[in-house]
Amino acid sequence: MTTTGTTPTGASPTPTAAAHGGPAHPPIRRSRLTKIVATLGPASTSPEMIRKLFETGVDVFRLNFSHGSHADHGARLKTLRELEADTGRPIAIMADLQGPKLRVATFANGPITLTAGQSFRLDLSKEPGDSTRVGMFHPEIFAALTPDTDLLLDDGRVRLRVVSCGPDHAETVVISGTKLSDRKGVNVPGVVLPLSPLTKKDREDLAFALEIGVDWVALSFVQRPEDVAEARRLIGGRASLLSKLEKPQAITHLAEIIELSDGIMVARGDLGVELPAEDVPTLQKRIVRESRRAGKPVIVATQMLESMVSAPAPTRAEASDVATAVYDGADAVMLSAETASGDYPLEAVSIMDRITRRVEHDPLYRTIMDAQHPDPQQTAADAITAAARQVAHTIQAAAIVTYTTSGSTTLRAARERPEQPILCLTSALETARRLQLVFGVHAVHTSDVANFSEMVQKATRAAHKDGIALEGQRLVITAGVPFGTPGNTNILRIAWVEAE
């Protein structure tokens, strides 16, 4: 029953294709459980390249609103929806908001040279900078500074320490770093800045993203639970919300932020600027573990195969980095510049797919997953879902089947990290799309069912058509009756797969 990561299997289109009026194409069945997120950009904007990325293994496509116009993102989304209709497979689309970008201003005569111990002033003046001062047009930063606060410029390449400060300036001393140029970024480690994660641009981008119908919204610069709550109010249930953990301040409120979010991204680039490098790996594991415990999908992102922006193969350290995220039990791993602007987008997806499949076939991987099952809550739904994983393992079932409207039954099954794929049947296309991000889920958009027997029949047929199971194999099926009640998982059944 195992297929390659790119080979279509099955005999007929899923109802998604028919619902969109697309031609008959066999569905693509991934042979791995961990998902791949890829960013679209100049290197991956044509319909031909987007199709190749999907066929090579991409499950979720990211639109990075830090770059590109609304017209660019709208065109890419349209291409993806046409691909979805043509292949009959739900495709998840994520809008990643830019968030506040804190930067110094420009210098009159180009880059400057700094010397450790010299004085350097930051202020609100619009005069071009020189070797003694530069503008920083962020009064919120000045309001939060105190003497002895450190400022990191240019991703930490320059470190300044505040000597004295006021509402419109900061006198600092250079601790380390030798060069500084125009518009380099500013980080203030250890300080909660009085800034909303949603700038005017972000609000406009969010409104556009929701209008064109993205499935996930990634929120940058999350510092507090209130930041997530603000975004949820604006989204209003029209997309799932993913919180990017890139500010150390967010870790103080990790449990609350996970609870308020639909998903989590470990954005290690900015975390690595504001935290000691040695803290990032253990923090990554903690975030993945806590997200899994809460049943929320979690992505490990940033610099995973960075060298492949300009090289056809990754470094061995990068391959190990991807593998570590999979061993940690992440739902997905992400490519950024590698597919957006790199020279080898297809190769990057291909090697990430191969690394992921290799790890999942390692006996140690299953040992780790089985040792880390979160304790089920004391509910019938959790008890049945935990039992479904055990039953599927004992009888060597081909898949665990969930029938869901909201996605909660499927998320609960994925939380168990079963060794079998999770075949999700749902009558809600938006749910099928959103669940493409989730570990192990093969979502099928199908018509509604009137009773449990009809659902079992649909499940066995879908499993056979999509190459999930062969004739004579068994499925473990969970659902909630009456249908349409979110989180009401109360039935477990074993069914045999029969060919039509």
Distance (Å, rounded) from C-alpha 131 to C-alpha 108? 10
Q: Which two tokens stand for residue 188?
A: 């203030």
Note if 244 is an active site residue: yes
Q: Does residue 173 contact residue 201 with C-beta atoms inside 8 Å? A: no
- Active-site residue (options: 30, 32, 62, 434): 62
Q: How far is CA 455 from CA 223, 463, 480, in A?
A: 43, 12, 11
Please choose, from the candidates 273, 191, 281, 265, the residue with its C-alpha nearest in 3D space to the C-alpha of residue 228: 265
Distance, CA of 113 to CA of 107 (rounded, Å): 11
SS (H, E, C) 146-186: CCCCEEEECCCCEEEEEEEEECCEEEEEEEECCEECCCCEE
Helices 345-360 and 316-328: angle between axes, nearest 10 degrees: 50
Cα angle: 426, vertex 293, 411; to 5 degrees: 0
Q: How far is CA 247 from CA 62, 250, 408, 450, in A?
A: 21, 6, 29, 47
Q: One of 56, 87, 149, 302 is an active-site residue; which one?
A: 302
How many Å apart are CA 294 and CA 415, to the nearest integer?
Answer: 8
Any catalytic annotation for residue 103?
A: yes
From residue 301, how far is each of 80, 154, 245 by CA, in Å?
22, 20, 10
Tell me which residue of 245, 240, 247 sits closest to 261, measured CA to CA.
240
Distances from the Cα of 304 to the Cα of 338, 347, 352, angstroms: 9, 14, 9
Longest dimension (CA), the chain: 79
Whose tokens are 């005017």? That residue is 200
Helix (H, G, I), strand (E, B) or coil at 484: coil
Given CA atoms 420, 423, 429, 431 in this order, what sign does their dihedral have? negative
Q: Would strands 216-219 and 158-166 be described as parallel, antiparallel, or unpaired?
A: unpaired
Distance from C-alpha of 468 to C-alpha of 213, rounded to nearest angstrom: 29
Dihedrals phi, psi of 38, to nearest 5 degrees: -130, 145
Catalytic pick from 103, 203, 232, 358?
103
Active site residue 179: no
Between β-strands 150-153 and 92-96, what pairing exists: parallel, antiparallel or unpaired? Answer: unpaired
Residue 225 corresponds to which tokens in the numbers above? 């639970």
Alpha-carbon distance 471 to 444, whole Å? Answer: 19
| 8 A C-beta contact, residue 400 and residue 413 | yes
From its phi and psi, is residue 10 left (phi > 0), alpha (psi between -120 and 50) or beta?
Answer: left
Any catalytic annotation for residue 133? no
Supply the residues annotated as catalytic: 62, 103, 244, 302
